Amino acid sequence: MKNSTVANAFAAAMRTSMCYFLVFAAFYFLINTLFYRVEGDPGFVPAVSLITLFMCVAFWAYNRQRASAVRLEITGHVVGFSFIGNALLDIFAGYQPIKLMYLVLLVPAFAVSGVRPRVVYTTSLASISGLLAAAYWLDPGQFLNCCWVSFTSLVIAVGLSRVTRSAMLRAVKAKIDSDLNRDQAMSLATYDTLTGLPNRRAFLKALDKHLSHDATFYLGLVDLDGFKPINDIYGHNAGDQVLIEVARRLSLACGEASTVARLGGDEFAVILPGLDEAGLRTLGDAICAALAEPYTLNNETAYLSASAGFTERSSGERNTSKLLERSDYALYEAKERSRGIAVLFDRGHEELIRSTKAVEQALRGIDRERELTLAFQPQYDLNKNCIVGFEALARWHSDKLGRVAPDVFIRAAERSGLITSLTPTLLEKALRVAVTWPDNIRICFNLSARDLLSPKSVDRILEVVGASGVAAHRIELEITETAMLTDFTQALRATTRLNSIGCRIALDDFGSGYTNFSYLNRIKVDTVKIDRSFVLALGRNTHAKKIIKSMIELASNLGMEHVVEGVETNEELSEVKSVGATMIQGFIFGKPMPAEDIAAYLSERTPQKCESLAPKRLQDLVSDMAG
């Protein structure tokens, strides 16, 4: 298959060369027909020249239709012999010794334009034979010299043909390999490597395409219930088998007209056009029933269920974020009510989004100064061999609920809108800690989409930064693509204001969502944070390194820094270092730590002591890679 691909590509490249050759030849014979005359010739030379001109045009059109080695070979032979015939006619019509050079000059032309060696050798030998015959009959005294000239031209023809064909073949093969790698990289970036379904990026593009039309459809999110115990009991290979089977059942249940994607982990998404509400409810139940069927894992049988949340896209709706939020809330409701069911978002849910749920209620009555704390995870520069920053991570120990997982309370705060009141408090706490650090250590702080999309929230953030005593260039504010998808104009306005006082902007989870590169062109981003999912993929496929390398090179070409997130093992560190990663964040350099531990942590890792006081396994690895 690859040999055939190379042959076709080589024929396409040679077709271009041949067509250019024919164009120049046609121009030559046009001038020859109009102006060149041989004394004593009754008109045969211009007549044959005109015929050759038409022949060049005809073969140019013949080869323009499609690339074919056979067509090029026919062209090479016919046109080559016609050129030789023109030269011989001119020589015999009015002999002059200098005219013998015509036949010599044709040899290198045949060498570079012949698609196959036999075309080159046949036409070159014919030209040399014509040269020797003309010299023998018309100028015997020059015959021996012509023999040496012929030998030289043949050697040059063979060498030139070999070099030209070899160079073109190498170029063609390199282009094919490059195209193959690009296609594989695009496939990795667009499709889930495990299930073969479109990934989050591709799904969001498909959703945008559906939203560009006025037709109604249903957007659904499907989440597996009880998937984690399968991984724990049967192993991750069994979990992968389950996910593959879930993808198959979900695609079969939804039909060919639908779009089914894996968003990540055990979460799937579907776009269902052409259904009414009754049909959607029937399909939702069928999806849950299909995914609840037993899963055969080698000699074991596993059971799980699936919850689904759906929302209808009404005519004229264009807000991607709102549709996803509604589907997500419906999914949340399905899990809260009774796992393994499908829930359709209705207008009543709009009010329930800000209902008196336990987490949201506790958040409303929170003592922000006392209950909210921060943990700080270091960011390591492999080139400097030192800590260069810390990311502030929110923690909440509720008086009512106890310790609440960060993803739970942040999601609830964002859903309810309370996040904009929590952000200033958390940012103040983070900057109170950062002001005690050395000036070369930056603080990284996450902003939610709601923070960016509220001008008042941006005002408050600017006030907190101004009053902190921390130089603005040491503050890096991390944003996500959600804000840009929701309201790009306001997100641009907010980041511009933050940039104006010197704050750095980082794009978080780069590559895991719908990365529209026009955002990078319009918003001043200082750092891109490469998502942990790409690091996890390093051990499962050979193209994850190419994706990470491409993102690092993109950031470098745009004048941005990069941070690779979630590096936990020596093997992962070695892999990302080999593709140019310099800024790393992950457990291998330190887990999130309380503020009171940072001073001691930094005192042991000053630029002078950093290398000697690094953990031995890390120090050895960095030294090995530097060597």
pLDDT digits (tens, 9 = 90+) for 287-314: 999 999 999 887 788 888 899 999 998 7
Show me where the domains of the chain are located: 2-184, 200-352, 363-532+560-568+583-622
Is 200-352 CATH 3.30.70.270?
yes
Q: Quick one: pLDDT band at residue 499, thresholds 50, 70, 90?
A: very high
Q: CA of 428: how far to CAs of 115, 423, 424, 425, in Å?
A: 72, 8, 6, 5
Region of residue 599 (phi > 0: left; psi between -120 and 50: alpha; otherwise: beta): alpha
Tell me the pLDDT band of 491, cut-offs 50, 70 and 90.
confident
- pTM for the complete prediction? 0.48
Distances (CA, A) of 565 to 3, 28, 488, 533, 577: 41, 64, 25, 9, 13
The per-residue DSSP string of 401-446 comes to TEEE-HHHHHHHHHHHTTHHHHHHHHHHHHHHHHTTS-TT-EEEEE
Q: Do 98 and 113 contact (CB within 8 A), yes or no?
A: no
pLDDT at 512 over 60: no
Question: Do the domains at 200-352 and 363-532+560-568+583-622 have one common CATH topology?
Answer: no
Tell me the pLDDT band of 449, cut-offs 50, 70 and 90.
Answer: confident
pLDDT at 86: 85
Given this model, what pLDDT does residue 10 score? 66
Q: Which of 224, 244, 227 is nearest to 235 (CA)?
A: 227
Q: Does domain 363-532+560-568+583-622 have CATH number 3.20.20.450?
A: yes
Q: List Cβ neighbours of 60 (8 Å cut-off, separation of 6 or more).
A: 19, 22, 23, 26
The tokens for 439 are 């000036």
pLDDT of residue 289: 93
Distance CA 540, CA 538 (A): 6
pLDDT digits (tens, 9 = 90+) for 347-382: 776 655 544 467 888 888 889 999 999 999 999 999
Lowest mean pLDDT among 245-249, 273-277, 300-304, 429-433: 300-304
Q: For 52-98, what is each residue's pLDDT tens digit?
A: 889 889 888 888 877 777 887 788 788 888 888 888 888 888 878 88
Half-sphere exposure of 149 (CA within 13 A, CB side): 21
In whole angstroms, what is the distance from residue 393 CA to residue 591 CA? 11
Token pair listed for 373: 């704390």
pLDDT per residue as tens digits for the range 539-551: 777 778 888 888 8
| Tokens describing residue 28 | 């030559």
Q: Is the model more confident about 168 or about 371?
A: 371
Q: How confident is the model at residue 513, as a pLDDT? A: 45
The end-to-end CA distance of the chain, in Å, is: 41
Q: Which residue has the higher pLDDT, 412 or 169?
A: 412
CB contact at 8 A, 452 and 495: yes
Distance CA 357, CA 605 (A): 45
Q: Do residues 286 and 298 touch, judged by C-beta distance below 8 A?
A: no
